[in-house]
Structure 1
Amino acid sequence: MAAIRQLAYGMGTDKRDQYFRMLERTMRECVYKFCKGICLVYVQRYLRKPTINDIHQLYTVHEGKHGFPGMLGSINYMHWGWSLCPNAWRGQYMRGDHKEPTIVLEVIASNDLWIWHALFDPASANNDINVLDQSSVFNDIYLGKSHDIYFQANGVAYKRGYYLTDSIYRPLSVFVKSFTCPNDPKRKKCKDEQESARKDVERIFGVLNRR
Structure 2
Amino acid sequence: PPPPAAPETGPAAEMPPPPPRPADLSAPPATSPALTLTVAPLDDTACRKRLERLGATFEALPPIANGQCGAEKPLKLTRLSGDVALTPPATLVCNTAEALARLATEAQEASERILKAPLRSLSIGTSYECRGQNHDPEAKLSEHSFANGVDIMGYGFEGRGPIKVGAGLDDAAEATFQAAIRAKACGFFRTVLGPGSDAAHGNHLHLDERERNAGHRLCQ
TM class by smaller structure: 0.3 to 0.5
Structure with greater helix percent: 1
Normalised to the residue count of structure 1, the TM-score between the two structures is 0.35
Higher Rg:
1
- Between structures 1 and 2, the one with greater strand share: 2
